[in-house]
């Protein structure tokens, strides 16, 4: 007995509906329906297929994970070889300029010929994959291998939900798509956190994670590893009119619902390539995945064909690198540092290593638990990461290279790291609260490290802005016993200063006048200068605006404090603790007595709801806010969050990989803003 027609039709509909939701969820990052609704569709299809096995098709979304472990991967011969790209190692503008000059010379373009059009995109740091679609159906996925022959990793690739099992729309008889499989940073962190929780091995970095997962023989294990994919090119095609340019090819791939990274542009001439290189570098740390550079491709296929290949590399493409963000080096010692608030931070002293564009000699180990979890020891070879302006950190230990007491890899030479019991700066006991990750020196301002750091912070450009009062001078002032608290600064005289080493009459006079000038300040600078834990510049500004003067702030309890935008329970508690400390009140009184003053403003009476009456829609991945947080904040500010863009929408908040909502907003002329602008709106409201 055949399958009822209605059941077959229902199964087909469910399959396409589930794939449409997968695309919305995994590629556009914009779920169309609640998870429960999706699950219901999925379960319905599963039971339909169970009841009617004839309905089961290879492209069914229920078949993404399955199959038995393989003894080995079968070889796959690439009809069109998978090439590599020449790398421009000069990480400055010259990399792009040299490539353009080469292209122009090879195309024999006259000096006054117009600039060459390039497709500029990201160089993903993962594993190259070729996907073969026959009549729109994913039939094979293969690794690059040596470029001629790769490995059949279809089972594992099918588990990547971003990759369609069936192409959308009118698909050609044969279409091979080339792209990169990678693991996003958040997925990598989440995976490792879970593994750690289970006491299982963690991944060294996202790249290894991706490569290892794709080449995992057990597809069930591969399915547990969260992978992503971006398409960036073509292999063999049959019966398809290929687009005339690379950028149009990417558009065509996206129309088949293959994931294509949003960060690509058509750039004209070397200056636009350089601009792209710099622009992406500035965003690099905010991308949710690792890149090791950008790729430039001559856009017109006709020109690509004229340029051809040398050995295994096309002459029409080049990778323009960025400085590596990770490097290997050796730990020479582990010290602890005492911060301004007494926080004790273990720091690895490293054999100097060039990473992220600078030479790094120290890397933070964050706190005791982290240092122990990573089990970093003296003599270890470690992976150091420095991304952008972020403080360099030790990512992991290469345990194979740990020095041991004997030749047979027995006892490690050095014991595990332990925090000292006493502060290395002042000898006070080191304490660690029960639920706290951070250990602190209990010495307070008795501890010279805390005193010095507090003074340096107080004098800083963004705080009281006392020019000339740097680290060295603070060291001297503290060592000579001249300054214990910030208030003491205002009692210094030219004579006492001139008595210090390397301090002439002239610089002493300059410093005194800088200290004098700082008496006239603003409330927000003053609050920031106090160095209250968890109160940065932005919070200080919010507090100043809210309370208008210091007395209200000093008297506020944790509840009053939490009516200030962005102040939560943790920040509120830090503020209350700070002002509860008699010593801190004395310092403040001393500063006021010394003539430190600021213009007083009006306190804010009621909590303002700057977004009342406004409707916002969210799309794509925001750089810092999770979708739920963004929604909660908008609602707390009186705004409404809608699921789709319409004429009634006031703002579309768009993040990375914004989908069709963005097109719709442009079409309707709805204002599109990014996360930074949203945060401003939440504080200031809409200026009308």
* Residues assigned a catalytic role: 123
Residue closer to ligand IVH (CB basis): 76 or 564: 76
> To which H or E segment does residue 422 belong?
none
Q: Which stretch binds ligand IVH (CB under 6 A): 81-89, 98-106, 221-229, 656-664?
A: 81-89
Residue closer to ligand IVH (CB basis): 88 or 380: 88
Contact 359, 350 (CB under 8 A): no
Instruction: Please name every residue paired with 396 in a beta bridge, in sequence order, or none if there are none.
Output: 383
Closest distance to ligand IVH from the beta carbon of 296 (Å) = 10
Contact 409, 416 (CB under 8 A): no
Closest distance to ligand IVH from the beta carbon of 391 (Å) = 28
Angle between helices 569-580 and 582-593 (to 10 degrees): 70
The set of residues, in sequence order, having a beta carbon less than 8 Å from that of 297 and lying 6+ positions away, is: 118, 119, 120, 121, 246, 304, 316, 317
Closest distance to ligand IVH from the beta carbon of 64 (Å) = 23
Residue closer to ligand IVH (CB basis): 263 or 541: 263
Closest distance to ligand IVH from the beta carbon of 357 (Å) = 21
556 binds ligand IVH (CB under 6 A): no
Separation CA 564–CA 643 (nearest Å):
29
Residue closer to ligand IVH (CB basis): 116 or 127: 127
Instruction: Name the pairing type of β-strands 430-432 and 671-673.
Output: unpaired
Q: Which stretch binds ligand IVH (CB under 6 A): 77-85, 99-107, 356-364, 618-626?
A: 77-85
Residue closer to ligand IVH (CB basis): 87 or 140: 87
273 binds ligand IVH (CB under 6 A): no
331: which DSSP letter? Answer: E
Separation CA 537–CA 531 (nearest Å):
10
Instruction: Return the residue of 24, 85, 318, 572 that touches ligand IVH, per CB under 6 A.
Output: 85
Contact 126, 188 (CB under 8 A): no
Instruction: Name the pairing type of β-strands 651-654 and 615-619.
Output: parallel
Closest distance to ligand IVH from the beta carbon of 124 (Å) = 4
Closest distance to ligand IVH from the beta carbon of 288 (Å) = 16
| Cα–Cα nearest to 87, from 312, 293, 275, 306 | 293
Residue closer to ligand IVH (CB basis): 102 or 220: 102
Instruction: Return the residue of 61, 206, 233, 356 that touches ligand IVH, per CB under 6 A.
Output: 233
Contact 301, 243 (CB under 8 A): yes
151 binds ligand IVH (CB under 6 A): no
Q: Which stretch binds ligand IVH (CB under 6 A): 79-87, 504-512, 532-540, 562-570?
A: 79-87
Closest distance to ligand IVH from the beta carbon of 293 (Å) = 8
295 binds ligand IVH (CB under 6 A): yes
The set of residues, in sequence order, having a beta carbon less than 8 Å from that of 66 and lying 6+ positions away, is: 155, 219
Given strand 228-238, what is the order of strands in its sheet? 137-143, 127-134, 174-182, 228-238
Instruction: Return the residue of 11, 27, 83, 681 that touches ligand IVH, per CB under 6 A.
Output: 83
> To which H or E segment does residue 150 belong?
strand 149-151
Separation CA 336–CA 456 (nearest Å):
19
Around Cβ 181, how many Cβ atoms within 10 Å? Answer: 26
Alpha carbon distances (Å) from 228 to 21, 157, 324, 352, 377: 16, 10, 22, 34, 34
Q: Mask of contacts with ligand IVH, 476-515, x by CB under 6 A?
A: ----------------------------------------
Closest distance to ligand IVH from the beta carbon of 61 (Å) = 27
Residue closer to ligand IVH (CB basis): 84 or 507: 84
Q: Residues in contact with ligand IVH, total (CB under 6 A)? A: 15
314 binds ligand IVH (CB under 6 A): yes
Phi and psi for 60 in degrees, rounded to 5?
A: -70, 130
H-state helical runs in 23-137: 35-51, 94-106
597: which DSSP letter? Answer: B
Closest distance to ligand IVH from the beta carbon of 83 (Å) = 4
| Cα–Cα nearest to 394, from 383, 406, 405 | 383
Residue closer to ligand IVH (CB basis): 144 or 525: 144
CA dihedral 386, 388, 389, 395 (to 10 degrees): -20
Residue closer to ligand IVH (CB basis): 22 or 130: 130
Q: Which stretch binds ligand IVH (CB under 6 A): 83-91, 300-308, 459-467, 594-602?
A: 83-91
Closest distance to ligand IVH from the beta carbon of 178 (Å) = 7
Closest distance to ligand IVH from the beta carbon of 149 (Å) = 15
Residue closer to ligand IVH (CB basis): 122 or 363: 122
Q: Mask of contacts with ligand IVH, 364-383, x by CB under 6 A?
A: --------------------
Q: What is the Cα 54 distance to its own chain's centre?
A: 46
Separation CA 572–CA 561 (nearest Å):
6
Q: Mask of contacts with ligand IVH, 155-184, x by CB under 6 A?
A: -------------------------x----
Q: How many helices (H) and strands (E) does the chain have?
A: 25, 24
Residue closer to ligand IVH (CB basis): 128 or 163: 128
Site for ligand IVH in 193-232 (CB under 6 A): 232
Instruction: Return the residue of 46, 52, 63, 84 that touches ligand IVH, per CB under 6 A.
Output: 84
Ranked by CB distance to ligand IVH, the top (closest) residue is 128
Closest distance to ligand IVH from the beta carbon of 144 (Å) = 6
Angle between helices 5-22 and 35-51 (to 10 degrees): 140
Site for ligand IVH in 317-336 (CB under 6 A): 317
Residue closer to ligand IVH (CB basis): 177 or 630: 177
What stretches of 161-227 adopt beta strand conformation (E)?
174-182
Separation CA 141–CA 129 (nearest Å):
7
Q: Mask of contacts with ligand IVH, 105-144, x by CB under 6 A?
A: ----------------xxxx---x---------------x
Q: Which stretch binds ligand IVH (CB under 6 A): 78-86, 245-253, 271-279, 409-417?
A: 78-86
Please report the DSSP string for 213-278 in residue order: HHT-S-HHHHHHS--EEEEEEEEEEES----SBHHHHHHHHHHTT----S--EEEEHHHHHHHHHH
Residues that bind ligand IVH (CB under 6 A): 83-85, 121-124, 128, 144, 180, 232-233, 295, 314, 317
């Amino acid at each position: 007995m055949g399958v009822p027609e209605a059941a077959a039709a229902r199964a087909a509909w469910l399959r396409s509906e589930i794939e449409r939701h997968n695309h919305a969820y995994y590629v556009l990052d914009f779920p169309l329906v609640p998870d429960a609704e999706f699950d219901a569709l999925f379960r319905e299809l599963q039971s339909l297929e169970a009841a009617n096995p004839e309905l089961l098709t290879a492209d069914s979304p229920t078949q993404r994970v399955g199959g038995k472990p393989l003894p080995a991967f079968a070889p796959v011969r690439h009809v069109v070889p998978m090439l590599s790209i020449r790398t421009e190692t000069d990480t400055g503008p010259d990399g792009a300029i040299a490539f353009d000059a080469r292209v122009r010379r090879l195309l024999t373009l006259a000096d006054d010929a117009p600039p060459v059009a390039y497709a500029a995109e990201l160089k993903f740091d993962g594993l190259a994959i070729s996907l073969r679609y026959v009549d729109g159906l994913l039939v094979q996925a293969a690794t690059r291998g040596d470029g001629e022959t790769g490995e059949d990793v279809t089972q594992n690739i099918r588990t990547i939900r971003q990759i369609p099992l069936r192409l959308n729309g009118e698909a050609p008889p044969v279409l091979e798509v080339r792209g990169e499989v990678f693991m996003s940073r958040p997925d990598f962190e989440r995976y490792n956190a879970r593994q750690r929780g289970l006491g299982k091995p963690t991944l060294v970095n996202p790249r290894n994670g991706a490569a290892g997962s794709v080449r995992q023989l057990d597809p069930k294990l591969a399915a547990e590893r969260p992978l992503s994919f971006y398409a960036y090119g073509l292999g063999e095609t049959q019966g398809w009119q290929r687009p005339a340019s690379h950028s149009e090819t990417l558009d065509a791939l996206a129309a088949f619902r293959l994931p294509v990274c949003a960060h690509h542009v058509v750039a004209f001439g070397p200056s636009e390539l350089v601009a792209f290189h710099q622009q992406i570098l500035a965003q690099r740390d905010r991308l949710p995945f690792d890149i090791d550079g950008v790729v430039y491709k001559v856009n017109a296929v006709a020109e690509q064909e004229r340029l051809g290949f040398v050995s295994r590399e096309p002459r029409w493409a080049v990778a323009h690198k960025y400085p590596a963000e990770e490097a290997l080096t050796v730990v020479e010692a582990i010290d602890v540092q005492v911060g301004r608030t007494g926080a004790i931070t273990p720091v690895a002293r490293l054999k100097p290593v060039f990473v992220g564009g600078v030479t790094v000699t120290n890397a933070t180990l964050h706190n005791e638990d982290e240092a122990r979890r990573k089990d970093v020891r003296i003599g270890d070879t470690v992976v150091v990461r420095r991304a952008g302006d972020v403080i360099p950190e030790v990512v992991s230990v290469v345990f194979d290279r740990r020095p041991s007491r004997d030749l047979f890899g027995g006892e490690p030479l050095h014991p595990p790291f332990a925090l000292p019991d006493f502060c290395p700066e002042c000898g006070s006991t080191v304490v660690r609260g029960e639920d706290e990750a951070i250990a602190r020196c209990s010495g307070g301002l008795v501890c010279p490290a805390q005193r010095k750091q507090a003074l340096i912070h107080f004098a800083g450009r963004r705080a009281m802005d006392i020019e000339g009062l740097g680290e060295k001078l603070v060291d001297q002032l503290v060592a000579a016993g001249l300054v214990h608290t910030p208030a003491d600064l205002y009692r210094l005289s030219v004579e006492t200063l001139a008595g210090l080493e390397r301090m002439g009459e002239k610089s002493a006079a300059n410093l005194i006048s800088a200290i004098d000038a700082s008496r006239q300040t603003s409330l927000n600078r003053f609050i920031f200068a106090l160095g209250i834990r968890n109160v940065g510049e932005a919070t200080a500004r919010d507090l100043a605006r809210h309370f208008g003067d210091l007395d209200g702030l000093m008297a506020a309890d944790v509840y009053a404090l939490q009516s200030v935008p962005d102040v939560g329970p943790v920040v509120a508690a830090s503020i209350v603790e700070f002002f509860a400390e008699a010593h801190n009140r004395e310092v403040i009184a001393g500063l006021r007595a010394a003539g430190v003053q600021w213009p007083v403003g009006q306190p804010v009476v009621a909590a303002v709801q700057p977004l009342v009456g406004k409707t916002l829609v969210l799309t794509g991945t925001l750089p810092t806010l999770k979708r739920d947080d963004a929604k909660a904040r908008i609602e707390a500010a009186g705004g409404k969050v809608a699921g789709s863009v319409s004429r009634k929408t006031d703002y579309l908040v768009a993040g990375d990989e914004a989908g069709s909502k963005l097109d719709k907003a442009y079409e309707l002329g709805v204002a599109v803003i990014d996360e930074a602008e949203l945060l401003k709106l939440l504080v200031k409201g809409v200026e009308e």
